[in-house]
Amino acid sequence: MLRFSTAGESHGKALVSIIEGLPAGLKISTEYINEQMQRRQQGYGRGGRMKIETDQVKILSGVRAGITTGSPIALAIENRDWPNWEQIMAVEAIPATGDKTVKRPRPGHADYPGAVKYNHADMRNVLERASARETASRVAVGAFFRKFLEYFDIHIYSQVISVGSVQVVPESVDQQGLADFRSRVEESALRCSDKSKEKEMIDFIDQARLAGESVGGSFEVGVLGIPPGLGTYTHWEGRLDARLSALLMSIPAIKAVEIGDGINNARTPGSKVHDELRYQAGKGVYRLSNHAGGIEGGMSNGEAIIARAYMKPIPTLYKPLVSVDTDQWVEQKADVERSDICAVPAAGVVGEAMMAYGIAAAFHEKIGGDFMEQIKSNYDCYLDYVEKVWKWARI
């Protein structure tokens, strides 16, 4: 079973994570992981923090000479800002929190419910962990799952499809066009493939910044090269759509997830929603559309898996909303922390990492094996079955 966990505070010494169950024999390098983490740090609308940090991973265990051993993998990412917070975040001494104490919870953040739940008079104890800084760990961990999937020619991409009220029609992506699509998205400050809309998105964010506002939006994550049969309809918790939605929903500020054209499908007649099966001798079974987002009955159906996630506006506002001073018990403006105005592009990169985990876990459950060559041989056997017996036309 593939699983991972993370620990660490936003201004603590380091973020750490552990991956368990990853097979032996997977080639990975710190450069590859760092590249993925740098993608998370980009994007128009990020705050000052991203200028301080250039995340670098340290692999502490589970990898020898650039190859996984099958043992638990431990990772650490130092927080570059730690020296400025050493006193405030000290583990041993009683922290001299001073003006970094948080007593006026930000609406939309974890501050108030977290303080109530754990009885923290200083809500810094809540926000340090609730902060999306934790998603740096997820991207580092996700790099392993991504690399695992690449070995089997399964590829993940993302694209921003809205920033505030500026919407883009998502570009349809296939294996042939993937490299070109990726290079355009990676060059875009908004991770958006539509150049003409990018300027509008930038203007939208600039205006929000001037108004002391924050911005949300949405992104699409796609997975190419998945065979039919991952996940199951036989028990509720095994349904692939449910699993992937939960993973995307676990990203801070994501408040809605759709699989394929889920939202539009709800208002469209069935004949225009369901993707007809076609067959051609020599080609096999294929579809002309993919409104289902590659999942039917909780299982991959052999089409690209497509999910979209919707992010609320960042809760920290430089023109803060009304809150309550929990020392004085009077209404006051909420506290302000250094913050992003818009983090939709970064959230898309985190979405890729969570998707990589979900797909790798379902793939490994289905195909099995403890080392890469063994999994490859099992997989080849499965592909042979799917193609010969069920005529799957690989896309």
Q: What is the CA radius of gyration of the chain?
A: 22
Closest to ligand FMN by CB, 89 vs 334, is 334
Residues near ligand FMN (CB under 6 A), total: 20
The single-letter code of the amino acid at 47 is: G
Residues in 320-349 that interact with ligand FMN by CB under 6 A: 339-340, 343, 346-347
Please provide residue 218's backbone torsions phi and psi, each rounded to the nearest 5 degrees. Answer: -150, 160
* Contact map string, positions 132 to 161, toward ligand FMN, x by CB under 6 A: x--x--------------------------
Question: Given strand 305-311, what is the order of strands in its sheet?
Answer: 166-167, 155-163, 217-224, 305-311, 254-259
Distance CA 300, CA 383 (A): 14
Task: Name the 3-class secondary structure at 164.
Answer: coil
In angstroms, give the least distance from the CB of 38 to ligand FMN: 13
Q: Which is nearer to ligand FMN, 158 or 301 (CB)?
A: 158
Nearer to ligand FMN, 170 or 252 (CB): 252
Could you tell me the smallest distance in angstroms from the CB atom of residue 50 to ligand FMN?
Answer: 9
Structure tokens at 332: 């006051």
**Smaller CB distance to ligand FMN: residue 138 or 291?**
138
User: Quick check: 2 and 364 in contact, CB under 8 A?
Assistant: yes
Q: Which of 315, 353, 361, 375 binds ligand FMN (CB under 6 A)?
A: 315
Q: Is 245 in the site for ligand FMN (CB under 6 A)?
A: no
Shortest Cβ distance from residue 86 to ligand FMN (Å)? 22
Angle at alpha carbon of residue 13, lines to 58 and 336, rounded to 5°: 125
Crossing angle between the packed helical segments 372-390 and 344-367, to the nearest 10 degrees: 80
CA-based nearest residue to 138, from 72, 55, 223:
55
Question: How far apart, in Å, are the Cα atoms of 321 and each of 132, 231, 390?
Answer: 20, 43, 58
Q: Which position among 45, 225, 227, 252 is part of the footprint of ligand FMN (CB under 6 A)?
A: 252
Give yes or no for residue 109 binding ligand FMN (CB under 6 A): yes
Provide, rounded to whole angstroms, the least separation between the CB of residue 198 and ligand FMN: 19
Q: What are phi and psi of 8, to 5 degrees?
A: 125, 150
Nearer to ligand FMN, 254 or 299 (CB): 254
Least CB distance to ligand FMN at residue 367 (A): 31
- At closest approach, how far in Å is the CB of 193 from ligand FMN? 20
Separation of alpha carbons 199 and 20, rounded Å: 43
CB of 19 to ligand FMN, least distance (A): 21
Residues near ligand FMN, by CB under 6 A: 47, 109-110, 130-132, 135, 251-253, 312, 314-316, 339-340, 343, 346-347, 350
